[in-house]
Amino acid sequence: MFTRKLFSVIAVSLALAAPASAATFNAEFWDVDVGRGNPEKNVIDSLADVLSIVEGDHQRVADATFFSTGIDYPNGAKGPGRTRQTLASWLGRDAATLTGLGSTRMLGSIFRFTGAIFVDAGINNFTVGADDGFRLTIDGSEVASFAGTKAFTNHDATYDNVAAAGLKSFELIFYEDNRVQVGVDFRVDGAVVQPAQVPLPAPALMLLAAVGGFGILARRRKTA
């Protein structure tokens, strides 16, 4: 009876203390104006303007957040969407996780996606499709970027992972200021990059090991 209660307490503790494995990317959205760039007045037309708002001199809190199951927007569509779309319709199924401005139009938008992805040892071939600009960093190093405005274009990039295959942190900043179409996707070898499962933190693993130890002791006492 004591052992059963102990297992119950530990299971509850794990559920409360250990975060669930991540199956999504974190995403932030800023609603901005289009025109000649002036980030001080919330106007963008270049990557420099965007970075000023996201992490620079004019940094401010995002207007909305959501969880991304895969960076391919408009969600499930081929090619770019339209700037008259609302954020919620552009996100598709991921709109269910949206907090903040869902009804705002896509004209004048900044996104930042962050999380963990699995990277093979050696050369990895990534593709970022974007209308307009973007910056991709992996493990803190810039892999690819485009700083202006343009039609939807695929940008191929390689990342040489000199370490063993495993999880790497990434950040993809994307923005729209082309007044007509808007779209972004992030692929590896032609397939949309999927969120990596994040292992349980070390304290949780230690607690699980302790649970196993208690189970072995309990079985030994019972057989004795």
The string of pLDDT tens digits covering residues 26-60 is 999 999 998 888 999 999 999 999 999 999 999 99
Over residues 145-167, the mean pLDDT reads 95
Q: Would you give the end-to-end CA distance of the chain in angstroms?
A: 17
Residue whose structure tokens are 């991304």: 68
Taking the whole predicted model, whether its pTM rises above 0.85 is answered as no
DSSP per-residue letters across 44-112:
ESSHHHHHHHHTSTT----SEEEEESSSEETTT-SS-EETTSBHHHHHGGGGGG-EE-SSSBSSSEEEE
The string of pLDDT tens digits covering residues 157-177 is 999 999 999 999 999 999 999
Domain 22-216: CATH architecture, name and number where available: Sandwich (2.60)
Closest C-alpha to 51, from 138, 131, 112, 123: 112
The string of pLDDT tens digits covering residues 53-85 is 999 999 999 999 999 999 999 987 877 999 999
